[in-house]
Amino acid sequence: MAPSVNRPEPPYLQVARYIRNQIASGDLREGDTVTSARQIMQEWDISMATAMKALATLRSEGLVRGVPGVGTVVRSAETARQTPQDRFALIRLSGRIYPPGEHAKIKSAKVVTATGQVADALGLQPGEPVIRRHRVTYRCDVPVSASISWFHGSMANVAPQLLETTRIPQGTPRYIEELTGRTTTAGRDQMTAGPADEQEANDLGIEPGTPVLRGRNWFYDVDGDVIEYGESVSVAGRWASYEYQVSND
C-alpha cells in the first residue's frame, strides 16, 4: 500500500516520521540509502521543496547524512529510539523493544525491600517488598545504558518471569498486560545530567564521576496506578527525543 499524506500534520513532518520509523524498526539500517527527494516527491505526491525539507529534518536530528555520489544514508540508527516513551513506539512498530544492533542482559532480578523513593513511586510504604530488575543494554557489545525497574511485590506470583534473569522478549509492559490485563496508558519521564556512581560506572565501563544522562520514569494504568517505576543512566551521545503538540487554547 502506497503512503499518503494526512493533511492535518504538515506533509514534511509526516514524511520525516515515516522514514524515522523505518530506521527505528530496522527496515533501514546504518549505512542504508534513504529514498531520494525525487522519489519521495513522486510517492507522496508532494513538492520537491517539501521532500527536501523532510530529509533536512532528518539530517538535523542526526539520523541521516548526505554522501556525494550516493545520496542520503542512515547515519545513526541508535538515536531513533532512546526514551521510555520510545520503547512503546518501537513495540508497536516492530514487536521489538530494542532497535537493531542492541540487546540487553538482565544482571539481577529479585525481591527486595522498598526504599523511600521506590515506595513513594509505587504507592507503598518503605520496607514493603518490591521486585527489582537490573539490566544493562549493549550496542555492538559495548554497554550504552543501564536501568533498574521496580514493580509491586505482589507481581511475583502473578508474573513470575519478572524474577528471572532471562530477557522478556515482548517487554515487561506487554508481559504484564498479557497476564494481568493492566495496560500502560500513560507515562512520565524525568531527566538530568550527573556524575556516574561506582555501580553505574561498572555497568557502563566508564570511570566513576564521568558525566551521564540520568532518567526516571513512571508507567501508569488506566486508573492512574503505577505499573512500573524505573531509573536509568546512559553514556554520552545517546540522544533523548520527544515530540509534542502545543495548544493555543
3-state secondary structure labels for all residues of the chain:
CCCCCCCCCCHHHHHHHHHHHHHHHCCCCCCCECCCHHHHHHHHCCCHHHHHHHHHHHHHCCCEEEECCCEEEECCHHHCCCCHHHHHHHHHHHCCCCCCCEEEEEEEEEEEECCHHHHHHHCCCCCCEEEEEEEEEEECCEEEEEEEEEEECCHHHHCHHHHCCCCCCCCHHHHHHHHHCCCCCEEEEEEEEEECCHHHHHHHCCCCCCEEEEEEEEEECCCCCEEEEEEEEECCCCCCCCCCCCCCC
| pLDDT band, residue 10 (cuts 50/70/90) | confident
Pairwise pLDDT comparison (87 vs 118), residue with the higher score: 118
Instruction: Look at residue 90 in the predicted model and tell me its pLDDT.
Output: 60
**Residue 231, pLDDT above cutoff 60:** yes
Q: Assess whether 118 and 96 both reside in one domain.
A: yes
Q: How many structural domains comprise the chain? A: 2
In which domain, by residue range, is 70 found?
Answer: 11-76
Instruction: Look at residue 80 in the predicted model and tell me its pLDDT.
Output: 46
20 within a domain of the structure (yes/no): yes
Give percent above pLDDT 70 in the chain.
Answer: 84
List, in sequence order, every residue forming a beta bridge with 232; answer none if it has no partner: 147, 215
Q: Assess whether 109 and 197 both reside in one domain.
A: yes
240 within a domain of the structure (yes/no): no
Q: Assess whether 58 and 139 both reside in one domain.
A: no
160 within a domain of the structure (yes/no): yes
Q: Looking at residue 59, which CATH number applies to its domain?
A: 1.10.10.10
Q: Assess whether 98 and 189 both reside in one domain.
A: yes
Q: Assess whether 118 and 213 both reside in one domain.
A: yes
164 within a domain of the structure (yes/no): yes
Q: What is the pLDDT of residues 31-72, one digit of tens each?
A: 899 999 999 999 999 999 999 999 988 888 888 988 988 899
136 within a domain of the structure (yes/no): yes
Q: Looking at residue 203, which CATH number applies to its domain?
A: 3.40.1410.10
Q: Assess whether 42 and 117 both reside in one domain.
A: no
Q: Assess whether 63 and 91 both reside in one domain.
A: no
Pairwise pLDDT comparison (146 vs 77), residue with the higher score: 146
Instruction: Look at residue 1 in the predicted model and tell me its pLDDT.
Output: 57
Q: Assess whether 109 and 51 both reside in one domain.
A: no
Q: Assess whether 148 and 67 both reside in one domain.
A: no
249 within a domain of the structure (yes/no): no
Question: Among residues 76, 98, 131, which one ends one of the domains?
Answer: 76
Lowest mean pLDDT, pick from 36-45, 59-68, 77-86, 183-192: 77-86
Instruction: Look at residue 5 in the predicted model and tell me its pLDDT.
Output: 62
Mean pLDDT of 193-205: 96
Q: Assess whether 111 and 179 both reside in one domain.
A: yes
Q: Assess whether 70 and 127 both reside in one domain.
A: no
Q: Assess whether 106 and 130 both reside in one domain.
A: yes
The mean pLDDT of the chain is 86
Q: What is the pTM of this model?
A: 0.74
| pLDDT band, residue 30 (cuts 50/70/90) | confident
| pLDDT band, residue 129 (cuts 50/70/90) | very high
Instruction: Look at residue 102 in the predicted model and tell me its pLDDT.
Output: 80
Dihedral (Cα; 35, 63, 56, 236), 10-degree rounding: -170
Give percent above pLDDT 90 in the chain.
Answer: 57
243 within a domain of the structure (yes/no): no
239 within a domain of the structure (yes/no): no
Instruction: Look at residue 237 in the predicted model and tell me its pLDDT.
Output: 79
**Residue 175, pLDDT above cutoff 80:** yes
